[in-house]
A and B are shown apart, each in its own frame.
Chain A
Amino acid sequence: MSAKKAKLPEPAGIQPLSVDMRKLTRVGSRPNFLDYLVKLWDFRQFIFYDARARVQSGTRRDRLGSAWLLLNPIFNGLTYYLIFGVLLQTSRGIDNFVGYLVVGIFLYQFSSGAITAGARSIRNGKAVVQAFNFPRAALPLGANIRELLSAVPLVLGMLLIIVVFPPAETISWLWLLVIPAVLLQGLFNLGIGMILARVIARVHDVTHLLPFVLRAWMYASAVFYSYDRFISDPTLLEVMTLNPLFNVIDIVRSCVLYDTLPAWESWASLACVALAALLVGFFFFWKGEETYGRD
């Protein structure tokens, strides 16, 4: 390096310039919360196009193509059936264990897939974030709509298995209640995904922890065992009923398998937790709007 550091001379003068700034906005600034939601609405075509294009391209490399959207959870369900139903016999005390298991696995897969996709959306979309100016919430939102779209064959496959495998259940009007339950679940996924998206954009290490947390969540949601067989402590049961995934699974099971109207408490708990997660998620994500895509 040079021996002496050359000092740059000061400018000859400083010219004060009065400028009308009223029509200008700061570049890259975060609009207020309501404006942000309006702006997001303006980008709805972008969000839907992004979601649709990626659903189609997601399985393009595979010979069976979109069939994997259905085959994947079926194989998954089969594995759990062999391990927990046949080998470990957790099925004792549950009639129609195949149906019971399939509802749990398929709905868990929807949540874990959507939360993972939402959480990674900002990191994975870094190139798009840096290239264009759009409300960043479009990315986790698009990822979740994408997951919701691929949940349609998932849920249809789930119902098909329940109808076909013995003991076959009969189709009733109650089955329609699956739709609002899954939609509420989707809102919850979106909220959690947005919180994680901001966290992961800042601390990437969290992606490594995510699978473990999701796995633990699955075990806590009575996916392949009957919770009343293991849990007798009333406070623990209280906590359990706050778990939105447990509630969704419970609601769908009672509609589809037991042909009974789900308890209103389950609906209330699910709706409250889902909406709260959505609100907190949006707000938390919006707070970090200016930081995404920057290192």
Chain B
Amino acid sequence: MVGIDETLFLDGPPCVVIDKVAMTYKVESSNDRSGSTQGMKGVLRNVLGRSNRVTVSALKEMSLVVERGESVGIIGRNGSGKSTMMKLISGQVAPTEGGVYASSTPILLGVNAALVPELSGDQNVVLGCLAMGMSMEQIDEQFDSIVELSGLDSAIYLPMKSYSSGMASRLRFAIAAAVNPEILLVDEALNTGDAQFSSRSKARMDELRAQAGCVFIVSHSLDTIRDMCSRVIWLDKGELIMDGSPEETTELYRDFSAHLSKGNNISATRIKDDARANLVATQVLERTTGRRTERR
């Protein structure tokens, strides 16, 4: 690994800076190797919080700088750390090391989070919008378009707990899409719902993308990624493999997956290793003064 001596300078403030971020989870394993979980010993270990804990490294240390106007696609296999990355950027989870810096609050457009099941759909719309910092006047203005986007019609006045999972996720998406965020994160949101909803949500997404300062998209559809993004990041097992143009990166990744699905693990690994060996990683230097002076 060689350090490149010449420091590059970024004009203007960026949208998102990921500075030496790493993420490890401590999870309980049901794999019973270190002793019994029953009996006194097990109870004691539970009380002390030391039961069979395994450290999982979801994301290895990495740095990225994303500028205004960029839309970044994140691709990779299952468990490569894509969703973890999104959660870190949105602030849902805190990184174990490093920090994520943003010019405004990033909004994660997912379909996973539930709202308040006891309340009706329209109450959840108001509550969710208020929670995103909108004012009552803004909500009154947008209410009809949110309901329209969700496609719930009169079901909007029923309690959320009576909704099907598809209905709930449509409402969830419609609420999150109501604000025009500067930094937009999209986690597989396009793939839910029926055909009618997906075309409606795609239209809204395009609108949002046009207005947003920068966009992050996680998707398994490489075509979506190539169409929508100006830069693509390939993650594998928590490591940054490639960071480049949509065409090149998706092409290589497609190659990689093709080899994997045929069982050619060795050639697949070679493709991955080659990509990684050509990666130019970023090191973030914080510039506090306005002048372009080289620090360190």
Chain A residues proximal to chain B, CB less than 8 Å:
6, 8-28, 42-43, 45-46, 49-50, 53-54, 57-58, 60, 125, 127-128, 130-134, 290, 293-294
Contact = CB atoms under 8 A, between A and B. Distances in A.
Interface stretch (B8-16, B215-223, B244-252): B8-16
Contacts of B277: 9-12
Nearest to B118: A57
Contacts of B99: 26-27
Interface stretch (B36-44, B203-211, B253-261, B284-292): B284-292
Given A45-B136, A127-B114, A293-B92, A13 B4 contact: yes
Contact of A23 (B1, B6, B103, B279): B103
B91 A16 contact: no
Interface string B265-279: 000010011001111
A192 B256 CA distance: 56
Interface residues of B, number: 71
Main DSSP-derived SS at the B contact region: mixed
Given A11-B281, A14-B282, A128-B131, A24 B115 contact: no
A159 to B, nearest CB: 30
A57 B136 contact: no
B94 interface: yes
Contacts, number: 184
Contact of A14 (B3, B135, B176, B276): B3
B100 A13 contact: no
The 6 A-B residue pairs with the shortest CB-CB distance, nearest first, are A28-B91, A131-B113, A46-B130, A132-B131, A24-B101, A27-B91
Given A24-B101, A294-B93, A15 B4 contact: yes
A19 B8 CA distance: 9
Nearest to A131: B113
Interface stretch (B73-81, B119-127, B149-157): B119-127
A130 B92 contact: yes
B283 interface: yes
